[in-house]
Amino acid sequence: MIKVGIVGGAGYTAGELIRLLINHPDVEIVFINSNSNAGNPISDVHSGLYGETDLKFTDELPFEAIDVLFFCTAHGDTKKFMESHTLPEELKIIDLSMDYRLADESHDFVYGLPEVNRKKLIRCKHVANPGCFATAIQLALLPLAKNLLLNNPVHINAITGSTGAGQKPSATSHFSWRNDNISIYKPFTHQHLAEIGETLHMLQSTATDELYFIPVRGCFSRGIFVTLYTDCSVSEEELYKIYNEYYDDHSFTHISTKPIDLKQVVNTNKCLIHIEKKGNKVLITSAIDNLLKGASGTAVHNMNLLFGLKETVGLMLKPSAF
């Protein structure tokens, strides 16, 4: 059994991670650290886990008792934790924050998008899990970059559920404001653009830097729906061939010839992609669950890779509707 520890266990992504891990056949959760909730049952915070686990939060950190440590911490906190604690040399780490996503000589974290870095992830010890928007957008663009077709500006619109803003209520996440409402934020400047650009340039050094990304707050709880378009002279039929070939040996990304919708992926670790051409424009649509494929599901996928397990173990989940 893989012995697991979790730091930062009270948020939405932590709740989904715990749900996945307590049902994973090869995992035993040793501790879930939370100083503010120490001694309280996990189900007091993650009420959807009532009847599924007797685990309690702890303020202890028995690193020597675990094989892998997950960080479900706020951005900036993982780096602070790493700098202030001595961790066992052999301990594997999967960080769900953005602290180590960008390549840098100061760390050895591998960017944890299996659809582009699977071979590296199998051999590494430290994983930086991708961002949710970054995951959905990159999966829509990777085959173009791989085939040196990402040569023109890309216009991206992506709408996300309220859980993407975290558990703590804010002026733009509480029910009265978010319900029956829609708004944009961080147009052209979203922090995930950096990791997207880095990955695309790894596949195509000449890839365009013109990624015009408009993030949108949606009036639903979970999921990300991306529509993006760019100029491309390749036919629709050939694009489907390119995309199917790229994702042929990847378990969770699927190409649909029919238009897709968000409910097809919510509560799953899947990404669905649809392609449509009109003249020289190609429209690519992608959809993921922001808490699963966009966070905790990919974290478990990365754990499976780190420990030589079948990639889909613990991740064959039914969509929430129909």
My answer on whether 123 and 142 are in the same domain is: no
Does residue 322 form part of some domain?
no
pLDDT at 171: 72
Does one domain contain both 119 and 137? Answer: no
Closest CA to 156 of 129, 130, 126, 186: 186
Is residue 178 one of the residues assigned to a domain?
yes
Judge if pTM exceeds 0.85: yes
Same domain, 28 and 111: yes
149 and 167 housed in the same domain: yes
pLDDT of residue 177: 81
Same domain, yes or no, for 138 and 124?
Answer: no
- Nearest alpha carbon to residue 303 among 112, 31, 44, 33: 112
Q: In the numeric block, which tokens belong to residue 72?
A: 């479900």
Active site residue 132: yes
CA pair distance 212, 34, nearest whole angstrom: 38
279: alpha, beta or left, given left = phi > 0 and alpha = psi -120 to 50? left
Residues 95 and 136 in one domain: no
Nearest Cα neighbor of 94 from 269, 311, 310, 299 is 299
Task: End-to-end CA distance of the chain: give it in Å, rounded.
Answer: 34
Total domain count, the chain: 2
So what's the pLDDT on residue 169? 65
Q: Residues 245, 137: one domain?
A: yes
Same domain, yes or no, for 93 and 173?
Answer: no
Residue 208's domain is classified under what CATH number? 3.30.360.10
Q: Which two tokens stand for residue 311?
A: 């990639």
Kindly state whether residue 201 falls inside one of the protein's structural domains: yes
Q: Domain check: are 243 and 278 in the same one? A: yes
Three-point CA angle 86, 89, 95, nearest 5°: 75
- The enclosing domain of 64 has a CATH number of 3.40.50.720
In a shared domain, residues 273 and 234: yes
Q: Compute the distance between CA of residue 135 and CA of residue 149 in angstroms, rounded to an integer.
A: 19
Give the chain's residues under pLDDT 50.
none
Q: Are residues 152 and 285 in the same domain?
A: yes
Same structural domain, 77 and 190: no
Q: Report the pLDDT value the prediction gives residue 178, as an integer from 0 to 100.
A: 83
Residue 314 forms part of a structural domain: no
- The residue range of the domain holding 125 is 2-130+293-306
pLDDT for the residue 174: 75
Question: Is 164 part of a structural domain of the chain?
Answer: yes
Considering 132, 219, 232, 271, which one is annotated as catalytic? 132
